[in-house]
Structure 1
Amino acid sequence: MNTLIIYSTVDGQTISICQRIAQRLVDAKHQVTVVDIKDVTQQQLIDAEQIVMGASIRYGKHRPALYNFIATNQALITSKLNSFFSVNVVARKPEKNTPETNPYIQKFLQLSAWQPQLLAVFAGKIDYPKYGFFDKMMIRFIMWITKGPTDTSGTFEFTNWHKVDEFAKRLSEQ
């Protein structure tokens, strides 16, 4: 199967998750292309049999490019096997780590006319040393409010890679 994995990311954890999914799909004999949402071509969309989209959250929102891309390409996306996953640090909490309980997936479904066939949510990563001063302080404040890690010298990865592998397995069985 020809699978196109499209990502929208701020800090790179979504790319890492896409690469892991891609490797699992290649292992399952898929042909896989991983591409940034801003670089997707019409031909890639046409040639794909399956479209997987992954997008990260920053300050409570998916990036506008995600919604613009969907609005422009919705007919083509929905004509294929399709899926969506969100990457956000809120998903580190057990009560918010499923599509049904994650507020960002629910918000996405309300804001987007596209209703993916398969949904997933993965916890992201906080990499304080990588952030500029403003982002570091804002994310630290958000983490303080939500009882997350606030040590700005640290990097905290919350991604459950087993859960990513399970999602990839479901994609390979479609």
Structure 2
Amino acid sequence: MIILVGYTSIEGQTRKIASAIAEQVEDRGHRAILFDVASMAEYALERPEAAILCAPVHGGRYPAPFFEFVRGERDWLNSVPSAFVSVSLMIVSDFTDERDEARHFADLLVAETGWTPREVAHVAGALRFTEYDFFKRWMVRRIAAKAPANEGAAGTADREFTDWREVALFVDGWLEKSMAYEP
């Protein structure tokens, strides 16, 4: 099966997650097309038979190029097995309302674009303090200091929250279901 692993990334963690997914897809005997949807390039001469899309939540929404890609490809995405990996630090919050809000972003994407992925995974991202400018570093430190799950994250060291085992289990489960899919 040819599987598009499309993503957009702001600070690199979503690209890292999409790359790991593409590698796993290939390890399971499928062909993966890793594609940055923000590039706006054509992603293949052959139409992929399935898709896993990955996007980060920043400022309460997904990046505009991702949103536009999904809206433009909605009919195709709804006609093949598809999955969505939503990346947000809020998903690891100790606060139930923040975790619920993180899950709600995917619901809003579905409502606004008309794409209905068969599976959705909510995955934590990373803090990349070493890549932030002064203002962003200051702002992120203040936000991180308020969240008990992120204790110690208020410093300046980069910290990854992605649960790679969870990502791998999600992809394996989705692949198994997708192999049984009949249009």
Q: TM-score, normalised by structure 2?
A: 0.83
- What is the CA deviation profile of residues 50-89 of structure 1, one whole-angstrom value per residue up to 9, with x for unaligned ones? 0110001112221111211112121122121111111111
- What is the CA deviation profile of residues 12-33 of structure 1, one whole-angstrom value per residue up to 9, with x for unaligned ones? 1111111111111111100011
* Greater Cα offset, 70-79 or 33-42: 33-42
Separation in 1 of the partners of 2:58 and 2:45? 26
Counterpart position of 1:70:
70
Q: 145, 163, 167: which is aligned to 1:164?
A: 167
Counterpart position of 2:154:
150
Q: CA deviation at 1:122?
A: 0.5
Distance 1:100 1:77, change over 3 A: same
Number of aligned residue pairs:
173
Asked if 1:129 is matched to 2:133, the reply is no
Specify every segment of 5 or more residues in structure 1 that has no aligned partner in the other structure, as ranges. none
Counterpart position of 1:89:
89
Q: CA deviation at 1:100?
A: 9.6
Q: CA RMSD in A?
A: 2.4
Task: Note if contact 1:4-1:45 (Cα within 8 Å) is conserved in structure 2.
Answer: no
Structure (1/2) with the larger strand percentage: 1
Sequence identity percentage: 23
AA in 2 matched with 1:143 = A
Separation in 2 of the partners of 1:98 and 1:143? 15
* Greater Cα offset, 48-57 or 96-105: 96-105
* Greater Cα offset, 92-101 or 123-132: 92-101
Distance 1:81 1:100, change over 3 A: farther
* Greater Cα offset, 89-98 or 62-71: 89-98
Q: CA deviation at 1:2?
A: 0.4
Task: Note if contact 1:109-1:115 (Cα within 8 Å) is conserved in structure 2.
Answer: yes
SS in 2 for 1:159: coil
Q: TM-score, normalised by structure 1?
A: 0.87
Q: CA deviation at 1:155?
A: 0.9
Separation in 1 of the partners of 2:57 and 2:105? 8
AA in 1 matched with 2:50 = Q
Task: Note if contact 2:91-2:124 (Cα within 8 Å) is conserved in structure 1.
Answer: yes
Counterpart position of 1:104:
105
